[in-house]
Amino acid sequence: MAEKFLRPLLHAAGALCMLLAASVAAAPAVDMAPRVQACTACHGKQGRATPDGYFPRIAGKPAGYLHNQLLNFRDGRRSYPQMAYLLQHLTDDYLQEMADHFARLDLPYAPPVAAAVSAATLAQGERLVRWGDASRQLPACVQCHGDALAGVAPFIPGLLGLSRDYVSSQLGAWQTGLRRAHAPDCMARIASKLTADDVSSIAAWLSSRPVPSRFTPAPAFKAPLPIPCGGMGSPALQAGAEQVQ
């Protein structure tokens, strides 16, 4: 008897699910153009960056990284009044949709600008980027940003295709506390170990490197992070980093 009464209810529930699925599938995609007009006004068409690199490229950056930076500007962990003003009333979900939009863009990079520095400076920068400095407990950039320096999805950005001035200014901002991230702030800790010469050489070498035609974030880390890093959303990686210390 129970089966006799349940069968029509199950059929009705199934039909309702199909109608809901069809309505979701038929819903028009969100038009992102109005939302990102303010972004592209500064960060260049489609978020490719401005020619001088002062406003960095946001196209193709990992979605988790972009979302975290939008939250950091909105919530005061990064200091730039114009960004804070634009974002102050936007919700987490709204910012996530913006981050997802730019993360999906796969656009070519402009060629690098030749670095007007000595070969020794470039060599020092490459050493720090690729191998770090164990004597100062300074991790290599590639340990977090990937062997190809293309970043690691979904939270770590690539380091190529950025201007020398931008890289220098961001490392300096971490050193002075103008730029912060979720605790534990791994970049602030790393930047505190860098000298002025380190910053100059790292920025010069990174900005001088050409960006490969296929430049996308790695899908996962090959090993635990060298130090704990907040905002990563991965307890397993954090535990691994704690063991490495």
CATH class name, domain 119-244: mainly alpha
Task: Give the model's confidence band at 232: pLDDT under 50 very low, under 70 low, under 90 confident, else very high.
Answer: confident
The dihedral of CA 190, 65, 212, 113: what is its sign? Answer: negative
Q: Rg of the Cα trace of the chain?
A: 22
Helical ranges in 31-114 per DSSP H:
33-43, 63-75, 81-87, 92-103
- Coil vs helix vs strand at 231: coil
Report, as an integer, the average pLDDT of 77-86: 93
Distance (Å, whole) CA 98 – CA 204: 31
Kindly report, residue by residue over 1-37, the tens digit of the pLDDT.
Answer: 444 443 543 344 344 334 334 443 444 578 888 889 9
| pLDDT surpassing 80 at residue 103 | yes
CATH class of 33-103: mainly alpha
Pick from 180, 186, 158, 35: nearest CA to 100: 35
Question: How much is the pTM?
Answer: 0.80
Neighbour count for residue 107 (Cβ, 10 Å): 11
- Return the H-helix or E-strand segment holding 8: helix 2-26
Q: Residue 126 CB: number of other CB atoms within 10 A? A: 17
For the segment 119-135, what is each residue's pLDDT rounded down to a tens digit?
Answer: 999 999 999 999 999 99
- pLDDT at position 90 is 96
Instruction: Provide the residue type at 159 as one letter.
Output: L
What mean pLDDT value characterizes the chain?
A: 85
Q: In the chain, which segments carry CATH 1.10.760.10?
A: 33-103, 119-244
For residue 60, which of 207, 213, 167 has the smallest C-alpha distance?
213
The arithmetic mean of pLDDT across residues 44-69, rounded, is 91
Q: Chain-centre distance of CA 211, in angstroms? A: 17
Predicted local distance difference test score (pLDDT) of residue 240: 41
